[in-house]
Amino acid sequence: MDDNPAVEAACATGQPVIFLFIWAPEEEGEWSPGGATRWWLHHSLSRLAETLEARGNRLLIRRGPSAATLDGVIAETGASVVFWNRRYEPLAVARDAGIKSGLRQRGLRVESFNAGLLREPWEVATKTGGPYQVFTPYWRACMGMSEPSRPWVAPTRFAAPHPWPIGVEIGSLGLLPRIGWDEGFRGEWTPGSDGAVGLLSTFVAGPWRDYKTNRDRPDLLGTSRLSPHLHFGEIGPRQIWWAVKERAGQLGLAEAEWRSSTYLTEVGWREFAYHLMFHFPRTPTEPLRDEFSRFPWREETELLKRWSEGRTGVPLVDAGMRQLWRTGWMHNRVRMVVASYLVKNLMVPWQSGARWFWDTLVDADLASNTLGWQWTAGCGADAAPYFRVFNPVSQGEKFDPNGEYVRRWVPELGRLELPWIHRPWEAPSEVLRGAGVSLGRDYPEPLVSLVISRERTLEAYARMRAGRPVEGAEKPVIDG
């Protein structure tokens, strides 16, 4: 509830406050919330309703369309003031602008606020007045601006309307799955602002100091795991900024040290993602760099299926995809590896990977998801060089040095010793037998040769960039 400018403004009016949530997923277009997002939303709304009741108010839930539904609540209650916190997805921007204009024409006071970002996308501009497309100068510009305001602390009681408007029950929205694929989510997450604040407190008290070295280790608890809480507005980046600042003060760190910390820089990448999506709204589905529209992606349903199921035959990739399916989350280093494998080894379109992440991540965020996939494919702003292809074997050996991450999520390889845990297809037959592994039976053989598939992709990239004809991709080469 804290650091919520819309609620703060509503409380400042001195009038009763109606907390309204409108469920209108059809207004999200092709980016309607996925299954994992809906799961989190159900529990987040439940926790919010409990919090409001404990503070003398309620959560009013209605089903869309948003404009008509809001009009209905205004007519029923006589409300004259409407506040909300801004969203930045292209369809949401257009919808909210239309609602704001219509209500103001009718004489209502309507305002929207920034709750989710340190800087509005339009507040940061290059010397020529345009948007940034490279992260480092963008973040340098952000850090040169005034410090984010201190987060607002919500009151313990909220003035409530009488009589109460009638809404629908959370359960009627049908957000939870009908089959139990969410079993692994339940012990993994605590949706709601209390869970977010607890995670932040734990993180800054310990893992934050070693974040720079441990953030790339999927076998360690070295990250904050706040991304879903940020996406759902259960905590804001200003709260993160000030928690880091206060902890740095306790440790006696110089301002320049904590402000340039790797963790705050990662918060900056999230800001950059929103900056890009706002200024380039077509990028969730189209490459920012136009030449990539000619790249010969391979629309292979079977390859995508094997990747999404964690059955590629590459242990680190499979571990990441299984962690995603089981928990709704994947370690960021592994996200880059699995994305690189799909795009640059299998040559499956980055949009296909982005859509799978959208449906399975509890932190599915259109801006961050788009930035990550376009960065991996090399077709976006601040893109990685097109010739950078993550090697999942060397990445596993470097960042999962004892194989513990792979053993947890790919248990059929659990008895394999190092270094074979990351490259079972190269293990001597007696080693495989001793570990109880038969490739092709207990664990898949690799879908493609990492070496050959990398060379094939780089050749296609080179021809595309040179403006030469780019032939369609060949079938994958199975590495026996």
Residues with catalytic annotation?
Answer: 266, 269, 297, 332, 350, 373
Collapse the DSSP code of 147 into the 3-class scheme (helix H, G, I; strand E, B; otherwise coil) and give the result.
Answer: coil
Question: Which residue type occupies 96?
Answer: D
Q: What is the largest CA-CA distance in the chain?
A: 80
- Candidates 303, 477, 272; CA nearest to 381 is 272
DSSP class per residue in 46-94:
HHHHHHHHHTT--EEEEES-HHHHHHHHHHHHT--EEEEE---SHHHHH
Ordered alpha helix ranges (H), 89-236: 90-105, 135-143, 183-186, 193-205, 211-214, 227-231
Q: CA-to-CA distance for 393 and 373, rounded, in angstroms? A: 21
Tokens of 403: 């194989």
If you search the block for the tokens 């494919």, which residue do you land on? 377
Question: SS3 helix, strand, coil % of the chain, rounded to 5?
Answer: 50, 5, 45
Question: Which residue type occupies 148?
Answer: P
- Candidates 479, 452, 456; CA nearest to 297 is 456
Could you tell me the sign of the dihedral formed by the alpha carbons of 326, 328, 333, 339, in that order? positive
Length of the chain: 480
Q: CA-to-CA distance for 114 and 149, rounded, in angstroms? A: 12
**Beta carbons of 392 and 341 less than 8 angstroms apart:** yes
CA distances 20 to 75, 82, 221, 293, Å, are 14, 10, 36, 42
Q: CA-to-CA distance for 23 and 42, rounded, in angstroms? A: 11
Return phi, psi of residue 32, to 5°: -60, 145
- Candidates 290, 388, 397, 286; CA nearest to 340 is 388
